[in-house]
Structure 1
Amino acid sequence: MIGRKGAGALGLALAALLSAGPAMAQTATPTVPADAATIRSIRAQPAYRAAVAALEREHDEWVETIVRLTEIPAPPFKESRRAQAYAGMFRAAGLTDVEIDDAGNVLGLRRGTAAPGGKVVIMAAHLDTVFPEGTPIKVRREGTRLHAPGVGDDSTGLATQLSLIKAMAAARVATPMDILFVGDVGEEGLGDLRGVRHLFGKGKYKGRAAAFFSLDGAAEDGFTIGGVGSKRYRLTFTGPGGHSYGAFGLVNPMGALAGAITGLYGIPVPANPKTTYSGSVVSGGTSVNAIPREVTLEVDMRSESATELARLERNFIAIVDRSVAAENAARSVKEGAVKVEKTSVGDRPAGATPAKAPLVRLAVAAYQAEGISPKLTASSTDSNVPMGLSIPAITISRAAAGDRGHSTDEWIDTERTASQKVKRLNLLILLAAAGMR
């Protein structure tokens, strides 16, 4: 999951993060005394302790909520059934102003003690999964583990968010700032973060966000402060086509596609900041004995650095154009030339919340209060959008352990002790961000 130089030790830690991929995540340096004091103060308050006790009591219900949400299909661009169910859960949990917005996001507000209309803290988990419509989804239980497509990503995030809402209500926790809870659409794949883009670009709370949390990933030893950006293209190569024998010698769009993918894999990219590419999907053609009239290539490019990502994109587009020109020069164009249509199908901004930012310092202090020296990592999540807008944002865990995300054998572990630790951390960080002291 989860880059800019700052001053002092925390700035040096972030600089190290910028030169590391997720497998080389950096351990956070100690936070400043004021942040530690804030966290100690919140942990000592009766309302916080009562909310933690409510989380403990609600553990089994949390597990059942994961199962219920997982078994409501939410394929890409078809999240409405799950959205309707989640909106009902928001209402039952006592949130106000619950609605499904124009993008399909579920919104619910928990009012603070400050005057209405001010800044809000936003917490979100995404409704959609990567699995296409018709994928069989039935949760299988093995001890404390739940197995099913999408059971972790992000059904557990939705359930964890709901647990926090209910615990705060049960303990009558008061925060100075309003907290907006969101079940958002379009986080996965070609959804291209459309739900959070709408939230920050067109939604009714536009311009009011003081901080943003995404509930995503499964770990208890750190959180995400870096947003891995991505550029995704669908390239459609067309030509005159013809019989593979009778029309031999005519240009072939497959040749241009092959040149493009070969050229992509010849681009040198830095290991630090981590920058990657993938030729991911190839389709087209009509028959084994026909020169295709049309073939398609889909490509994914990523980097922790906006500069490196832009450089990779420019290089690749130049390679595509050269490959088309080379094919047209190599074979006959008497029936027409090869052409290419370049369609952007994904554009996630790269960014980061600096390690010296107050939000990160508070989160580090919360982890340290639980005896954890947290790793600060980089990934591609809903937090990319606010990071790109310079709004403080981090991605925190939905659960303590899980694996095989985006596969049909995905699993999440609901073991009580570790799960409660993650939820305590989430609650503590959220309350601190919302102004509790």
Structure 2
Amino acid sequence: MAKELPALSESVLAQVQKVAKLEKVQKALEIAKRDVQRAMDEQVELCEIPAPTFMEEKRARSVMERMKAYGLTDVKMDEIGNVIGVRKGTVEGGPILVLGAHMDSVFSIDTDVKVKKDGIRYSAPGIGDNCSGLRAILQVLRGLEEADIKTKGDIWFVGTVGEEGNGDIRGSKHLCNNNKIDGFIAVDSTDVGRVLYGATGSHRWRISIDGLGGHSFAEYGKTPSAIHAMARAIQKFADLRPAADPKTTWTVGTIKGGTTVNSIAAHCEVEIDMRSFDNKCLLALEAEILSKFDEAVAEENASWTITDPERLLKVTKTAIGDRPAGTRPHDCPVLQVARSAQKVLGIELTQYVRSSTDANAPMSHDIPSTCLCSGGHAENAHNVKEFFEMIDTHLGPQLITLAALSLVGVEDEEALLPKKA
């Protein structure tokens, strides 16, 4: 939890309570409870369509068809594969709110994703992360359509690509970079007691050191070792301890190189993960660590009496991940509305934290945003033994519905989400 959690705005809470009492809103909330099995069946159907990162198209096509079947007429797939379904508001120039759930999974295309059911438990890779999120936003859409709810602002229902791993939240970054949106609710994970107020940023690099290499005895002194240079580099920052507040970390996650025990290594590479709650701290850490590889290669080259430039080591730095950090103020309208909606629905706020989700992108753009959860209970994410249990699965769609309607405005109730300048 945050160290200092301010009280809810009484005016925001009162407004969300008014929205919750509207007859059509009550109907949409009841539909979410009534349709839990239908929604669960849809979650299963989507899970059984393989969708590894960078290979989401088949699942995306299914999401598109479902959005159209549930009443959206403005549905498209953008340049990189995001599915965007627009539910227009009644007020021209009203706020635009995105409800986004990522479509990709961490599993390879040949992974068995057939769902096995045992009572309330459904087991399959990806069943929770993030087919539960897709289930939730599609249920929100069905509820709004069946209850005939007219909103003042627009709600975009979005299935994003590339949230996992090396996908590097490319879907949400593309969405935020190329569209004018006023608010964003990512839907990921299952614990409806969780609200994210911040985004953990991460920068990832692959650093390669390359030279000619050669026989360990015959070429000794004639060509420097890529492995020796890499060892020098890591030693330079092995004792580096970044800021504890805001929390900032680093690790060398992988290292590989060389060919045989009796060879001078021609190649060595590492992959480094750096994280922080603060972009400035992250950039400062990145600059410090990356500079050590240049120093180490220069030192390794200089330690031998080699005059041929072709025999000298060279360093190559390749960025393989860039998730921006961001933190929302506690009075952010999306956070205040989300917490108020929890209170109205009787959901206890159990986690008020920061994490890495599709919400990283809008937070880094200073867009009011958070990540809410789908409802239910899931364990073993990113593991072939992943499972999802049908426990209060209606609460996710109810929470997202009430928060979204309060933000964009409904009937005579004003929108709590301001338009960005």
Q: Calculate the TM-score normalised by the size of structure 1.
A: 0.88
The equivalent residue for 1:261 is 234
- Deviation track 1:70-116 (CA, whole Å, cap 9, x = no partner) reads 1211112111111111111111111121111111110101122113x
Q: In 2, Cα distance between the equivalents of 1:201 and 1:31?
A: 31
Aligned-residue RMSD, C-alpha: 1.9
Q: Are the structure 2 counterparts of residues 35 and 311 from structure 1 closer, same or farther at C-alpha, using a change threshold of 3 Å?
A: same
SS in 1 for 2:331: coil
The equivalent residue for 2:408 is 434
1:89 aligned onto 2:62? no
Runs of 5+ consecutive residues of structure 2 not aligned to the other structure: 414-421
Q: In 2, Cα distance between the equivalents of 1:142 and 1:370?
A: 29
Q: In 2, Cα distance between the equivalents of 1:287 and 1:135?
A: 34
Q: In 2, Cα distance between the equivalents of 1:329 and 1:189?
A: 38
Runs of 5+ consecutive residues of structure 1 not aligned to the other structure: 1-23
The equivalent residue for 1:242 is 214
The answer to which of 89-98 and 192-201 deviates more is 192-201
The equivalent residue for 1:354 is 329
* 2:140 aligns with one of 146, 154, 164: 164
* 2:49 aligns with one of 51, 55, 72: 72
The equivalent residue for 1:233 is 205
Q: In 2, Cα distance between the equivalents of 1:185 and 1:193?
A: 7
The equivalent residue for 1:212 is 184
Q: In 2, Cα distance between the equivalents of 1:332 and 1:128?
A: 52
Q: In 2, Cα distance between the equivalents of 1:369 and 1:272?
A: 33
**Number of residue pairs aligned between Structure 1 and Structure 2:** 407
Q: Are the structure 2 counterparts of residues 112 and 348 from structure 1 closer, same or farther at C-alpha, using a change threshold of 3 Å?
A: same
1:414 aligned onto 2:390? yes
Matching residue's letter, 1:235: I
Is the 2:12–2:340 Cα contact (8 Å) retained in structure 1? yes
The equivalent residue for 1:58 is 35
The equivalent residue for 1:155 is 131
SS in 2 for 1:427: helix
Q: In 1, Cα distance between the equivalents of 2:170 and 2:404?
A: 24
Q: Are the structure 2 counterparts of residues 404 and 248 from structure 1 closer, same or farther at C-alpha, using a change threshold of 3 Å?
A: farther
The equivalent residue for 2:314 is 339
Q: In 2, Cα distance between the equivalents of 1:325 and 1:399?
A: 54
Q: Are the structure 2 counterparts of residues 386 and 55 from structure 1 closer, same or farther at C-alpha, using a change threshold of 3 Å?
A: same
Q: In 2, Cα distance between the equivalents of 1:400 and 1:353?
A: 26
The equivalent residue for 2:266 is 293
**CA apart distance, 1:291:** 2.7
Is the 2:204–2:272 Cα contact (8 Å) retained in structure 1? yes
Is the 2:82–2:161 Cα contact (8 Å) retained in structure 1? yes
**CA apart distance, 1:400:** 3.9
SS in 2 for 1:255: helix
Q: Are the structure 2 counterparts of residues 291 and 142 from structure 1 closer, same or farther at C-alpha, using a change threshold of 3 Å?
A: farther
- Deviation track 1:186-232 (CA, whole Å, cap 9, x = no partner) reads 11122222112221223xxx12x111110012212221110111111
Q: In 1, Cα distance between the equivalents of 2:372 and 2:17?
A: 20
The equivalent residue for 1:369 is 344
Q: Are the structure 2 counterparts of residues 408 and 326 from structure 1 closer, same or farther at C-alpha, using a change threshold of 3 Å?
A: farther
The answer to which of 365-374 and 74-83 deviates more is 365-374
Is the 1:399–1:412 Cα contact (8 Å) retained in structure 2? no
Q: Are the structure 2 counterparts of residues 181 and 340 from structure 1 closer, same or farther at C-alpha, using a change threshold of 3 Å?
A: same
**CA apart distance, 1:26:** 4.9
Is the 1:252–1:292 Cα contact (8 Å) retained in structure 2? yes
- Deviation track 1:389-422 (CA, whole Å, cap 9, x = no partner) reads 111111111234323222222222222xx22223
The equivalent residue for 2:419 is none
Is the 1:27–1:376 Cα contact (8 Å) retained in structure 2? no
Is the 2:100–2:157 Cα contact (8 Å) retained in structure 1? yes
The equivalent residue for 2:367 is 391
1:125 aligned onto 2:98? no
The equivalent residue for 2:114 is 138
- Deviation track 1:205-261 (CA, whole Å, cap 9, x = no partner) reads x12x11111001221222111011111111111011112343334311112223333
Q: In 1, Cα distance between the equivalents of 2:381 and 2:333?
A: 31
**CA apart distance, 1:269:** 1.6
1:221 aligned onto 2:221? no
Matching residue's letter, 1:37: A
Q: In 2, Cα distance between the equivalents of 1:344 and 1:384?
A: 18
Q: Are the structure 2 counterparts of residues 27 and 432 from structure 1 closer, same or farther at C-alpha, using a change threshold of 3 Å?
A: farther
1:306 aligned onto 2:283? no
SS in 1 for 2:76: strand
SS in 1 for 2:384: coil
1:102 aligned onto 2:79? yes
Q: Are the structure 2 counterparts of residues 176 and 374 from structure 1 closer, same or farther at C-alpha, using a change threshold of 3 Å?
A: farther
SS in 1 for 2:393: helix
SS in 2 for 1:38: helix
- Deviation track 1:138-166 (CA, whole Å, cap 9, x = no partner) reads 22333323222222221111111111111
Taking only the aligned residue pairs, the percentage that are identical comes to 35
**CA apart distance, 1:27:** 7.4
**CA apart distance, 1:350:** 1.0
Matching residue's letter, 1:357: C
SS in 2 for 1:424: helix
SS in 2 for 1:165: helix
**CA apart distance, 1:276:** 1.5
Is the 1:220–1:401 Cα contact (8 Å) retained in structure 2? no
Is the 2:78–2:84 Cα contact (8 Å) retained in structure 1? yes
Q: In 2, Cα distance between the equivalents of 1:427 and 1:264?
A: 48
Is the 2:6–2:330 Cα contact (8 Å) retained in structure 1? no
**CA apart distance, 1:313:** 0.6
SS in 2 for 1:137: coil
- Deviation track 1:10-30 (CA, whole Å, cap 9, x = no partner) reads xxxxxxxxxxxxxx5457433
> 5 Å matches for 1:319-330?
319-330=292-303
Q: In 2, Cα distance between the equivalents of 1:332 and 1:157?
A: 60
